Amino acid sequence: MRNIPACAACHGGIDNSAGSPWIDGLPAVYTRLQLQAFAAGTRRNDIDSRMRNIARNMTPDEVDAAAAYYANDAR
């Protein structure tokens, strides 16, 4: 409803989207900073502004949770 698809929809395993990097195992700090940069518009290397639109719709708690999850800190 808030235009925030599951990260795995593009950054998943075998079925990840072309051009979408594998994010599993990246440090939480790195992922958090990248999501914040997309939200602020200072990172703009996403196709069709997809990540910028998603990141802008995420709350700070959601950003932290996603970063921790993909860093394997929350599994």
Q: Over the stretch 33-74, which tens digit does the pLDDT of each residue have?
A: 999 999 999 999 998 999 999 999 999 999 999 999 999 865
Q: How many beta carbons lie within 10 A of that of residue 24, not counting itself?
A: 15
Output the pLDDT for position 12.
Answer: 76
Output the pLDDT for position 45.
Answer: 94
Domain ranges of the chain: 24-75
Q: In terms of DSSP H, where are the helices of 1-75?
A: 8-11, 28-40, 50-57, 60-70
Q: Is the pLDDT of residue 13 over 70?
A: no
Output the pLDDT for position 74.
Answer: 57
Nearest Cα neighbor of 75 from 5, 24, 2 is 24
